[in-house]
Amino acid sequence: MIDSHCHLDLEPISNNLKDVIVRSQKEGVEKFLTICTTDTGYQNILKIINSNPIIYGTYGIHPHEADKFSLSKKHIIMQAQKNEKIIGIGETGLDFYYNNSDKKNQIDSFHKHIQAALDLNLPIIVHSRSAEKETFEAINSYKDSNLKILMHCFTGSLAFAKKLFKFNTYFSASGIITFNNSKDLQETFKKIPLDKILIETDSPFLAPVPMRGKKNEPSFLKYTLHKLADLKNVKINEADKITTDNFNNLFFE
């Protein structure tokens, strides 16, 4: 298994990182992608990826932070080039769930991240919440480019997913697919091609059933994998191999 999106720099994981990694490896996690969300937090990302050969990282500014960091495309590129184990740009994107007042900053930041990802030929990790129309419009404006997209913690509609199929888009399933109140999302993942699906924890957030109520960590990834295998009607080891291959195809080819 590969945890395609986790936040190893956040508590309570960061203070117990060695133990977290050991527990995760015992459960079969072989790689981790730890995600940058702020410019100031990036130094911690670099320290973490340098501490262990199976941990990789990204550079990006979360949409909730877009109004705090005035970034240029050049700055994003320069930061991402600091380490060869930085293999993606993000997480970036649009989130209008809580606040619509900073739409302009979020959209501007999203475009700068996309442009940097294209220049670097790296996948872009996209966060989209209550912003399907605007997210698609931004991505669609680069339809003639070879943009590599990972829709992180995908909770969008099937119609949105289908619109993204025409791009080089992968969809990451989080612990949300295990929730009893996520029937629509489960039906959506049934219809997304298995060769376009990755798995993630988004730890320390969104612990899957049966760990809901606890702080999430990569060792819980198996519960999302098991649910995905059930939804796709395949054996667990097949879902494991395909999602692992998908990660490697997206980030290392």
CATH number at residue 7: 3.20.20.140
How far apart are the C-alpha atoms of 118 and 106, rounded to whole Å? Answer: 18
The pTM of the full predicted model, rounded to 2 decimals, is 0.96
Sign, CA dihedral 52-54-60-62, equals negative
Reported as a pLDDT band with limits 50, 70 and 90, residue 253 is: confident
Q: Give residue 197's domain range.
A: 2-252
For residue 80, report the phi and psi dihedrals to the nearest 5 degrees.
Answer: -65, -25
CB 98 within 8 A of CB 66: no
Residues 230/239/157/170 CA torsion (nearest 10 deg): 180
| Tens digit of each residue's pLDDT (9 = 90 or more) over 134-186 | 999 999 999 999 999 999 999 999 999 999 999 999 999 999 999 999 999 99
Pull the structure tokens for residue 99. 């606040």
Q: Please give the order of strands across the beta sheet that includes 55-59.
A: 2-6, 31-34, 55-59, 86-95, 124-129, 148-151, 168-173, 197-199
Q: How many domains does the chain have?
A: 1
| Tens digit of each residue's pLDDT (9 = 90 or more) over 1-56 | 999 999 999 999 999 999 999 999 999 999 999 999 999 999 999 999 999 999 99
pLDDT at 134: 97
